[in-house]
Amino acid sequence: MLKRILILLLLAHCGVAFAQEKEKSGNPIFPGWYADPEAKIFGNTYWVYPTYSAKYNEQVFMDAFSSTDLVHWTKHPHVIDSSMVKWVKRAMWAPAVTKKDGKYYLFFGANDIHDDQKEIGGIGVGVSDNPAGPFKDYLGKPLVGKIYNKAQPIDQFVFKDDDGKYYMIYGGWGECNIVQLNNDFTGFVPFKDGETFKKITPKDYVEGPVMFKRKGKYYLMWSEGGWTGPDYRVAYAIGDSPIGPFKRIATILKQDMAVATGAGHHSVINIPHTDEWYIVYHRRPLGETDGNHRVTCIDKMYFDADGTIKPVKITVEGVSARTIK
């Protein structure tokens, strides 16, 4: 009898431990090769929009993932694809999603253009009534189809300032531009000095810009190194306005030889009305060398009292369940 009670107690204990373990997201947060994750909060739901990490000719769609607690994720297949955007042929990269006036806009890079005289491609926009899509082609052509300031038109990020202005920060090939979007996202508003495509490239910038505001300061983050290699990483700067100037401060995300390599191209989420921050990024499992074998992960991001960002500890276990009230 005593033996049976002990076994029951042991099983109950294992059950509790298992349940507690389940309350962590784990890393990666969902299965599959997915990179460049754009994490957003719409209402009480977290959304992640990643690049489908495969050969360029296979990158003709994007999936999205949603969660109400950061632990359990639901896949939304093909929220946008090349059947919805006729000029897209390949290399759909790095979605950036924003909500405005009840509509959801998904900005993406496509076709990996190198010569804007001969190729059609660059940064396009999809629009939907639902964060799960389907996102239809908004313009019928790229929003940015030319190369300005030597920045490849890819890796766009949309930032809304407190005054209601929307900015797009973008650029590959080691150059970063900022533009102010017009009211209906069909074009741009020039800056006060007359410039439309303003170069704000910080030292060592490669691609994957992200901007957010905290305590009145503008944080510009970006990826450095080569995305197919192990030392891909994220660095940042702090400025007093969206156009900077931005002086590189430090690397805050990088490989950990005990956990994963190539940690980079990220986004951040801030739980509304709190100072709780998460970083959502891709990395390569230990031992993987295929450039496209990238997985989407989440960890906590913390600030020091002076506003600088603490180096992120990348983990296997991920983060605890966090619902939004």
Of 64, 154, 181, 235, the residue at the interface with ligand FUB (CB under 6 A) is: 154
CA distance 153 to 94: 11
- 51 belongs to the binding site for ligand FUB (CB under 6 A): yes
Shortest separation between residue 52's beta carbon and ligand FUB, angstroms: 9
Q: Which of 173, 279, 175, 171 is nearest to 219 (CA)?
A: 279
Only one residue has tokens 């300032």, namely: 161
- 246 belongs to the binding site for ligand FUB (CB under 6 A): no
Of 219, 227, 246, 278, the residue at the interface with ligand FUB (CB under 6 A) is: 227
Shortest separation between residue 282's beta carbon and ligand FUB, angstroms: 7
- 265 belongs to the binding site for ligand FUB (CB under 6 A): yes
- 299 belongs to the binding site for ligand FUB (CB under 6 A): no
Shortest separation between residue 273's beta carbon and ligand FUB, angstroms: 31
Residues numbered 189 to 218 that lie near ligand FUB (CB under 6 A) are 207-208
- 89 belongs to the binding site for ligand FUB (CB under 6 A): no
Of 29, 35, 71, 309, the residue at the interface with ligand FUB (CB under 6 A) is: 35
CA distance 222 to 218: 13
Q: Cβ closer to ligand FUB: 23 or 119?
A: 119
- 219 belongs to the binding site for ligand FUB (CB under 6 A): no
SS3 assignment for 174-230:
CCCEEEEECCCCCCEECCCCCCCCEECCCCCCCEEEEEEEECCEEEEEEEECCCCCC
User: Which member of 38, 112, 155, 207 is catalytic?
Assistant: 207
Are residues 302 and 286 in contact, defined by beta-carbon separation less than 8 angstroms? no
Are residues 135 and 126 in contact, defined by beta-carbon separation less than 8 angstroms? yes
- 36 belongs to the binding site for ligand FUB (CB under 6 A): yes
SS3 2: helix
User: Which member of 36, 38, 63, 112 is catalytic?
Assistant: 36
- Calculated CA dihedral for residues 93, 209, 229, 66, nearest 10 degrees: -50
- 38 belongs to the binding site for ligand FUB (CB under 6 A): no
Shortest separation between residue 54's beta carbon and ligand FUB, angstroms: 10
Of 93, 138, 197, 219, the residue at the interface with ligand FUB (CB under 6 A) is: 93
CA distance 225 to 176: 15
Q: Is 207 a catalytic residue?
A: yes
Shortest separation between residue 152's beta carbon and ligand FUB, angstroms: 9
Q: Cβ closer to ligand FUB: 71 or 205?
A: 205
CA distance 268 to 265: 11
- 81 belongs to the binding site for ligand FUB (CB under 6 A): no
The CA angle 26-273-41, to the nearest 5 degrees, is: 50
- 252 belongs to the binding site for ligand FUB (CB under 6 A): no
Beta strands in the chain (DSSP E): 34-42, 45-52, 61-67, 74-81, 93-100, 103-110, 122-128, 136-137, 157-160, 166-170, 177-181, 188-189, 198-199, 207-214, 217-224, 233-239, 248-253, 260-270, 277-285, 295-301
Tell me the number of residues near ligand FUB by CB under 6 A. Answer: 11
CA distance 263 to 295: 9
Q: Is 36 a catalytic residue?
A: yes
Shortest separation between residue 228's beta carbon and ligand FUB, angstroms: 8
Query: What positions carry a catalytic annotation?
Result: 36, 207
Binding residues vs ligand FUB (CB under 6 A) = 35-36, 51, 93-94, 154-155, 207-208, 227, 265
